[in-house]
Structure 1
């Protein structure tokens, strides 16, 4: 397995680019990429070229997360203005505006079935769920607070939630907190199940394995410089991957489930072979910290290959071929 750089978009935004997510192909559109920036915009890209298709405005502060619905027809963006904007990908028309007080939202993800949107609720120490039919808030999954902390000390809690991920079957949610813990919830029952421990610093990014036999495996990226691999059912850490020299800000898993990619404030993108449990490639094209890496769907021309995108504080967007 390897990464091959294919395109670089310099100055993809007017400020730091903090988030990227692929929009699945539809009957009228190929897979596209969404990026969000501190310049308060969301941009839509066709990797062929690559070509900027549109710029979405509507937020009044930086955009920290974007997410696409499994249908490829709608998407959502979250900003540090505490609002989530749901919009039509093709027309950019706003479908819904969701407010998520008392603190900003840090990460969004639609469930695999497309029936719910989860938002990591920052200082509210919770994950909020909206249904995608009426865009009503349906649940608030509260992360248990540290012992001895008064309920009123919301902003003082190290349970500040930074990251969120759905399990492949949509029955569980994992969220990562500022204190390094990961919380697992049963979505149907709205119940906290258990913590996964091992990180000593904020957990910035989470993703469940895409391999069918590994649906309970969760990957986490942390400011402590490590990527952890957990068995979410057994509540155990399977392995810890080390090599980055600074914060690991993003992790994503390849469609074949054989590799993960990570982005770090050490300015590198790394490809990790999960069987070898080691980084097999270090990409050094970015000149500032890499906030997000995202694997695209398998290519039509070669189902064993796909694209990887990375975005950075250097304002650039990079595309690679994974094969």
Structure 2
């Protein structure tokens, strides 16, 4: 795979852009790019030309995470105001507003079937699960301390939860904490399974391989990108290339490559067969906060696309060409 820059939009938001995801195509429209910013807004962009399609307002502080329902009909945003706003993509109308205590709303992600929204619970050291039909809280998955932890280490601040990811079969949830540990849960039984270790600084982003529910990728402030066998509790590969915090990781739809974003101002493409960075893109002039591969689907859409967003308020779009 090779990335080719297609288009960049400066001043896409009025402040830093911290979050990005793709809204899947529907029968009536192609996919859309969804971005969230410290300017308190969420914006929707046409996926081929990065033309602004709409702006969703209502948050009173910066937006730190966005997620799209697999149907493409609804999306959600999480903010430093401790609210999650759920809205209809086409009408831009609010469907639900979910409230949490301060510092308990960070990354959010819909499950693969769209029945549950998972919320990284921040200071509560937990993942909150919300039912998407009733928008009621249905479960709290709390993170236990690792076995053998010293009493001084058993504090909730150490387990401040920043990131969350669903496995593609919906059976597992992973979350990443400030202390560098990853926690794996059995969703059906609301049961903690085990920790994954290997990082020693905050884990900003997690993503499962779309082709193998055992494979999990992580991005950390320790500048490493790691690949785990999440079921076997083993570290498969530790990949180093960035020179500063790795803020986001996403995996290509066919599972052959990952893209990462960093505070070193670069985006890197990694070939998983080589387990090495094969390309570095330097479109941005500040921290690159998020990268997102466009999911397959949509009959009128061209080949693969990747988007990145930055502290410099810009959005960049790339073509992902196969070998």
TM-score, length basis structure 1: 0.95
**Structure 1 counterpart of 2:143:** 143
RMSD of aligned alpha carbons? 1.6
Distance 1:260 1:61 in 2: 31
Distance 1:273 1:238 in 2: 14
**Structure 2 counterpart of 1:282:** 280
Per-residue CA distance 1:237-256 (angstroms, 9 max, x = gap): 00011000000000000001
- Are 2:64 and 1:64 equivalent residues in the alignment? yes
Per-residue CA distance 1:84-116 (angstroms, 9 max, x = gap): 001101111111110121424110000001000
Distance 2:143 2:299 in 1: 44
Say if 1:298 and 1:304, in contact at 8 Å, map to a contact too.
Answer: no
Per-residue CA distance 1:262-291 (angstroms, 9 max, x = gap): 000000000000001111100001000100
- Structure 1 stretches of 4+ with a deviation exceeding 4 A read 299-304
Say if 1:178 and 1:202, in contact at 8 Å, map to a contact too.
Answer: yes
Cα separation, partners in 2 of 1:85 and 1:300, compared to 1, 3 Å: closer
Say if 2:41 and 2:58, in contact at 8 Å, map to a contact too.
Answer: yes
Gapped runs of 5+ residues in structure 2? none
Per-residue CA distance 1:198-221 (angstroms, 9 max, x = gap): 00100000000012xx22100000
Moved more, 137-146 or 172-181: 137-146
**Structure 2 counterpart of 1:4:** 4
Aligned to 1:266, which of 261, 264, 267?
A: 264
**Structure 2 counterpart of 1:225:** 223
Gapped runs of 5+ residues in structure 1? none
Per-residue CA distance 1:38-82 (angstroms, 9 max, x = gap): 000000000232210111100000000000000000000000110
Say if 1:217 and 1:230, in contact at 8 Å, map to a contact too.
Answer: yes
Per-residue CA distance 1:138-157 (angstroms, 9 max, x = gap): 00001113642598x64xx2
- Are 2:113 and 1:106 equivalent residues in the alignment? no
**Structure 1 counterpart of 2:128:** 128
1:72-111 equivalences in 2 (<5 Å): 72-111=72-111
Per-residue CA distance 1:142-199 (angstroms, 9 max, x = gap): 1113642598x64xx2100000000011011000000000000001111100000000
TM-score, length basis structure 2: 0.95
**Structure 2 counterpart of 1:239:** 237
Tell me the secondary structure at the aligned position of residue 297 of structure 1. Answer: coil
Cα separation, partners in 2 of 1:302 and 1:253, compared to 1, 3 Å: farther
Distance 1:299 1:134 in 2: 28
Distance 1:25 1:103 in 2: 33
Distance 2:201 2:216 in 1: 17
Say if 1:8 and 1:318, in contact at 8 Å, map to a contact too.
Answer: yes
Give, in angstroms, the shift of residue 29 of structure 1.
1.0
Give, in angstroms, the shift of residue 300 of structure 1.
5.6
Moved more, 41-50 or 216-225: 41-50
Distance 1:136 1:41 in 2: 24
**Structure 2 counterpart of 1:296:** 294
Tell me the secondary structure at the aligned position of residue 158 of structure 1. Answer: helix
1:147-226 equivalences in 2 (<5 Å): 147=149, 148=151, 154=156, 157-211=157-211, 214-226=212-224
Distance 1:144 1:104 in 2: 17
